[in-house]
Amino acid sequence: MPLNQSGEDSVKKIIRRLGLTEVEAEAYIFLGKRGPLRGGEIARNLQMPKPQIYNVLKKLQNKGWANSTLEFPARFGAVPLAEVIDSKISLKREEAQVIESTREDVLSLWDSISQDKNEPSPEKFVVIDGLDKIFVKIFQMIEEAQSEIRVLVIGRPLAQTMNAGSAQVFCEKLKKSQIDAKILIQISKDSQKIISQGLAEASRQGVNDRFEWRYLANSSFCCRFTIKDKEAAVLFLTPRFDATPKECQEEAALWTNSSAVVGTLRVLFDQLWSGAVDSSKLGEINTRY
């Protein structure tokens, strides 16, 4: 079935996140719809100079997105998208297995050459772009936490903060640790639905007694952060109430181990927590949402 413009734009956005540039994605989609074709035909249809299109086609081949015939001049076609995705999934799994199998040895070697642990770690501020990368960092913090995790989500619909599978991954990380986890969110129809799904997932994995939820009936400001062990935090930098789904994917956050910043966020969390509603009383809350 041919792609309409909206569908084509969506596919282009997805495959760009898989490693293609704008021009490469455009050429791949064209080959998927029209190929296999010779380089000159592709250049004419995409209105690109031949040297540029041959360079693009070469990069697509090197990345495993395109193939060519042995005839001269060669014809170029798109590797089926399912095949490309399956190949990438397999590669990522292999990479993860290699990293996991060598993790302890590598860390042991690194500890033997790294700086003196008695020296205080310098305070750092790192900007993280993209919701997926932000969640990778948050889940890493949960996995590395030694004593506690604090999560605050207010002022933004929860569905715009939580990515697909967040509850499952959160519970999986929590299951492997022995930490005290507290989650504070703003109440809404949106959050009630997602929390219900999260609690069901927690019950399924047997960790529903490992963390505590509380709710704020309303809030006049927007703030979202995660704190690990009072020593590091991820603070979202895009506190907008009216963000579109696209803008949500373009989220930015700040990771820091600054004692002043982390301490301030922890004080804010504790103050809000003390005035929040316990999850057991959720049914008593009347919300305007």
Q: Which one is predicted more confidently, 163 or 25?
A: 25
Strand-by-strand arrangement of the 223-228 sheet: 125-129, 252-256, 232-236, 223-228, 148-154, 180-186, 211-216, 277-278
| Residue 121 CB partners (closer than 8 Å, separation 6+) | 257
Task: Tell me the pLDDT tens digit for each residue of 237-286.
Answer: 875 555 555 555 678 889 999 999 999 999 999 999 988 887 666 555 54
Question: Residue 269 has what pLDDT?
Answer: 93
SS3 54: helix
pLDDT > 50? residue 288: no
Would you identify the CATH topology of the domain 5-79? Arc Repressor Mutant, subunit A (1.10.10)
Question: Residue 109 has what pLDDT?
Answer: 85
| Residue 120 CB partners (closer than 8 Å, separation 6+) | none
Q: Which one is predicted more confidently, 21 or 168?
A: 21
Q: Which one is predicted more confidently, 118 or 231?
A: 231
Question: Residue 268 has what pLDDT?
Answer: 92
Would you identify the CATH topology of the domain 124-284? Endonuclease; Chain A (3.30.870)
Range with the poorest average pLDDT among 31-35, 152-156, 182-186, 228-232: 152-156
Task: Tell me the pLDDT tens digit for each residue of 140-180.
Answer: 888 888 889 998 887 655 545 554 456 666 777 677 777 88
Q: Dihedral of CA 197/200/202/204: which sign?
A: negative
Contact status, residue 20 vs residue 65, Cβ threshold 8 Å:
yes
